[in-house]
Amino acid sequence: MPAGGIFALVLTAVVLFAGTNVDDIVMLTALNISSQTAGRPLRWHIWAGQYAGFSVLVAVSLAAAAGLALVPEHWLWPLGLLPLGLGLARLATAVRAGRSGRYVPPTVVTGLTGVTGLTIANGGDNVSAYIPVFRTSSADAIAVILAVFAAGVAVYCLASSRFAAHRAVTQAVQRWGQWAVPVVFIVIGFYIFYKTGALS
């Protein structure tokens, strides 16, 4: 493949990844805030869960691009129930704790499985964008795209960790974290409903 072709392919993959994962940085920041303030999920849970979940999304996209049946995008709305349910449950816990004067760490998920599930739920609609790209790409091109995606996941994980460690963010979380983090996941749940057409 010519150098110009590789550059264009990498640029396309970067735009595709960034465009379909804008909301992912919000979720990752919330998870990192939870990790830093409550110790759960562990840092490696966030990284491994993000890679595992994204790998599932890519595998489904590749399978669909190869001609296998795929669930229509407008049937993907139940994926929003996971972050919505987690956020509501955590918010209810914060309300009960607030009434009794206790502080509740802003933990929404506690381990690798939870992070993986959130990643799949949050990125379920990405599949519809990846399928046509994979279907019209050669094996070499797909390998380049997947390498860019893998690097993109690392960049997002690192950036969200740095953002969550910012002093202003840390101070805000200490004061409002038990309310803000559950609200973020509730918003993500409704955003998934919106993206999959469930609210229209």
pTM above 0.75, yes or no: no
Q: What is the model's pLDDT at position 90?
A: 77
Centre a 10 Å sphere on the Cβ of residue 71 and count the other Cβ atoms it contains: 11
Centre a 10 Å sphere on the Cβ of residue 99 and count the other Cβ atoms it contains: 8
Q: What is the model's pLDDT at position 105?
A: 58
Task: Report how far residue 132's alpha carbon sits from residue 17's, in angstroms, rounded to the nearest whole number.
Answer: 14
Q: What is the model's pLDDT at position 171?
A: 67
Task: Report how far residue 118's alpha carbon sits from residue 124's, in angstroms, rounded to the nearest whole number.
Answer: 10
Q: What is the model's pLDDT at position 69?
A: 52
Task: Report how far residue 168's alpha carbon sits from residue 132's, in angstroms, rounded to the nearest whole number.
Answer: 42
Q: What is the pLDDT tens value at each position of the chain, 200 positions in all?
A: 666 678 888 998 998 898 888 778 888 888 888 888 778 889 999 999 999 999 999 999 998 888 765 556 666 677 778 778 877 887 887 788 777 766 655 566 778 998 998 898 888 778 878 887 888 888 999 999 999 999 999 999 999 898 887 777 666 656 666 677 678 778 877 877 876 777 76
Task: Report how far residue 101's alpha carbon sits from residue 161's, in angstroms, rounded to the nearest whole number.
Answer: 30
Q: What is the model's pLDDT at position 104?
A: 57
Task: Tell me the domain boundaries of the chain.
Answer: 3-195
Residue 29 three-state SS: helix
Task: Report how far residue 23's alpha carbon sits from residue 144's, in angstroms, rounded to the nearest whole number.
Answer: 24
| Encoded tokens for 75 | 């049937």
Distance (Å) of CA 137 to CA 62, 66, 68, 71, 147 = 11, 11, 17, 22, 14
Q: What is the model's pLDDT at position 112?
A: 92
Q: What is the model's pLDDT at position 58?
A: 94
What b/e string do you get for 162-186 counting C-beta neighbours within 10 Å, with b at 16 or more? eebeeeebeeebeeebbbebbbbbb
Distance (Å) of CA 53 to CA 60, 81, 117, 124, 165 = 11, 17, 7, 10, 24
